[in-house]
Structure 1
Amino acid sequence: MKLYYSPGACSLAAHIILNEINVDFDLERVDLKTHKTEKGHDYYEINPKGYVPALEINPGLILTENVAILPFLAQHDPKQDLIPPSGMGRAKVLEWLGYLNSELHDAYAVFFGGQLTDDEKNKAYAEIDRLLSYIDKTIGESDNEYLVDDNFGPADAYLFVLTNWSNHIHHDLTPYTHIIALRNKVAERQSVQIAMRDEGLIP
C-alpha cells in the first residue's frame, strides 16, 4: 500500500493507523499548493479531488476520504482491537468519523482557506469551541477509555490529528480537559510517535 500525505494534514490519521496494523507501506508526500508529489507526479491524476489522504491499495486502486480509509485500514488489525467487526460498536465508530469529518474538520479548515478578518476568526473560533464542548462533555460522561470503547481506534486518531491543528491557529485547548487527557494518551502510542517523526512534526 502507499499513502499520499501532507505533513500534519488529516492524512496523518491514516498514517497512524497504518503503523498500528503493522503492514508494509510506502509514503509519498504531496505539495497541496502545486499538487505535485515528491516524485514529480501530478497529484490530480492520482486523486482528482486534489486533497489528501489517498490510499493506493494496489496499483491503480485508490481509496480516498478518511471516513472510508480509516475503517478499511482498521479492519486489517491482526489483534482485532481497532474497530468492532459489526453491530453497534462499528456503527459508533462510523458515527464519530462522520461527525469529525463533516463538522470538526470543516470548522478547522476555515483557517486554512485564506486570510480571515478578525470577525471571521472570532466566529470560526466560536464554532470550533461549540463542537469541542460537545465532544469534551461526551467523553467526560463516558466510562470508556477511548471515544467508542476501551480500545484505541480510528476515531481517536482522527480527533488527535484535528485538535492538533489548534496549535497552528492559536486556539486554546486547555478548557477541554477530557479531550486533552485523551490526546495525551493517544500521543504516547508508538504508532503516533513514529508517524509524527516520519512527517517531520516532532524531532
Structure 2
Amino acid sequence: MKLYYSPGACSLAAHIILNEVNVDFDIERVDLKTHKTEKGADYYEINPKGYVPALEINPGLILTENVALLPFLAQQDPKQDLIPPSGLGRAKVLEWLGYLNSELHDAYAVFFGAPLDAEAKEKAYAEIDRLLTYIDQAIASSDHEYLVDDNFGPADAYLFVITNWSNYIEHDLTPYSHVVEIRNKVAARQSVQIAMRDEGLIP
C-alpha cells in the first residue's frame, strides 16, 4: 500500500492507523499548492479530487475519503481490535467518523483558506467551540476509555489529528478536558509518534 499525504493534514489519521496494523506500506508527500508529489507526479492523475488522503491499495486501485479509508485500514489487522467487525459497535465508529469529517473538520478548515477578518474569525472559533462542547460532553457521559469503546480506534486518531490544528490557529483546547484526555492518550501511542516524526511534525 502507499499513502499519499500532506504533513499534519487529515491524512495523518490514516498514517497513524497504518502504523497500528501489520501491513507493509510506503508514504509519498503531496504539495497541495502545486499538486505535485515528492517524486514529481501530477497528483490529479492519482486522485482527481486533488486532496489527501489517497491510499493506493494496488497499482491503479485508489481509495479516498477518511470515512471510508480509516475503517478499511483498521480492519486489516483483526488482532488489534481497532474497529468492531460488524453490528452497533462498527456503526458507532462510522457515526463518529461521519460527524468528525462533516462537522469538526469543516469548522477548522475555514482557517486554512482565504484570510479571515476579525468578525469571521470570531464566528469560526465559536463554531469550533460549539462542536467541541458536544464532543467533550459525549465523552464525559460515556464509561469508555475512547470515543466508541475501551480500545483506541480510527475515530480517536481522526479526533486527535483535527484538534491538533488548534495549535496552528491559536485556539485553546483547555476547556475541553475530556477531549484533551483522549488526545493525550492518543499522542502517547508509538504509532502516533512515528507518524508525526515521519511527517516532520516533531523532532
Shift of 1:77: 1.8
CA distance in 2 between counterparts of 1:7 and 1:77 reads 25
Matched, 1:42 2:42: yes
Normalised to the residue count of structure 1, the TM-score between the two structures is 0.99
Question: Displacement of 1:186 after TM fit?
Answer: 0.4
Q: What amino acid is aligned across from residue 169 of structure 1 in structure 2?
A: I
Q: Look up the match of 2:77.
A: 77
Across the two proteins, how many residue pairs are aligned to each other?
A: 203
Structure 1 partner of 2:65: 65
Question: C-alpha separation between the residues in 1 aligned to 2:80 and 2:188?
Answer: 20
Secondary structure of the corresponding residue to residue 79 of structure 1? helix
Runs of 4+ deviating beyond 6 Å: none
> What does 1:1-203 correspond to in 2, within 5 Å?
1-203=1-203
Deviations 1:79-100 (A, max 9, x none): 1400000000000000000000
SS of the residue corresponding to residue 133 of structure 1 reads helix
For residue 6 of structure 1, what is the amino acid of its counterpart?
S
Q: 1:78 Cα deviation (Å)?
A: 3.7
**How far, CA to CA, are the matches of 2:196 and 2:39 in structure 1?**
21
Taking structure 2 as the reference length, the TM-score comes to 0.99
Question: Per-residue CA shift, 1:36-95, capped at 9, x if unaligned?
Answer: 000000000000000000000000000000000000000112414000000000000000
* Aligned partners of 2:22 and 2:76 also within 8 Å: no
CA–CA distance in structure 2, aligned partners of residues 77 and 123 of structure 1: 42
How far, CA to CA, are the matches of 2:84 and 2:136 in structure 1? 23
- What is the RMSD computed on CA atoms of the aligned residues? 0.6
Structure 1, unpaired ranges of 5+: none
Matched residue type, 1:81: D
